[in-house]
Amino acid sequence: MPRTTNAPARKRRKKRLFDQAKGFRGGRSKLYRTARETVMRSMAYSYRDRKVRKREFRRLWITRIRAAVNARGMSYSSFIHCLGQAGVKIDRKIMAELAVRQPEIFNQLVDQVRSFAAKG
């Protein structure tokens, strides 16, 4: 009985790996072992950085809101605190967009929060 090989499956596996390694420099896209290591590492980085991207965007939104609120004479922490007490349900992403693209609406929001803070 002749021996069998795993050639079709092996070829598919290697082809998939080299397709993923496309665009890498030098042996990282040409040599199987190096390409495999690089692809595995890139997958780990992409998994990690999908989480990091969310953190970075939240930091950006907070920075934008802080700058807009400080320009209107209020601190970010008191603004967020009074916003929650006033029962306004707007997330930071939307507030940052309002602060950058529609400052007149953001002014109304700050005035509403400021009036609530004055009451309580």
Q: Give the pLDDT confidence of 85-112 residue by residue, as tens digits.
A: 888 899 999 999 999 999 999 999 999 9
Token digits of residue 111: 């005035």
| CA separation for the pair 15, 36 (Å, rounded) | 11
**Which residues touch 69 (CB under 8 Å, ≥6 apart)?**
75, 76, 79, 99, 110
Q: Give the pLDDT confidence of 5-58 residue by residue, as tens digits.
A: 999 999 999 999 999 999 999 999 999 999 999 999 999 999 999 999 999 999
CA torsion sign, 48 to 54 to 59 to 60?
A: positive
- What CATH number should be reported for the domain whose range is 7-119? 1.10.1900.20
Confidence of residue 120 (pLDDT cuts 50, 70, 90): low
| CA separation for the pair 79, 83 (Å, rounded) | 6
What are the helix and strand counts (H, E) for the chain? 5, 0
Q: Cα dist. 119→31, 74, 88 in Å?
A: 70, 16, 16
Instruction: Give percent helix, percent strand, percent coil of the chain, each to the nearest 5.
Output: 80, 0, 20
| CA separation for the pair 57, 65 (Å, rounded) | 12
Report the predicted TM-score, pTM, of the whole model to 2 decimal places: 0.79
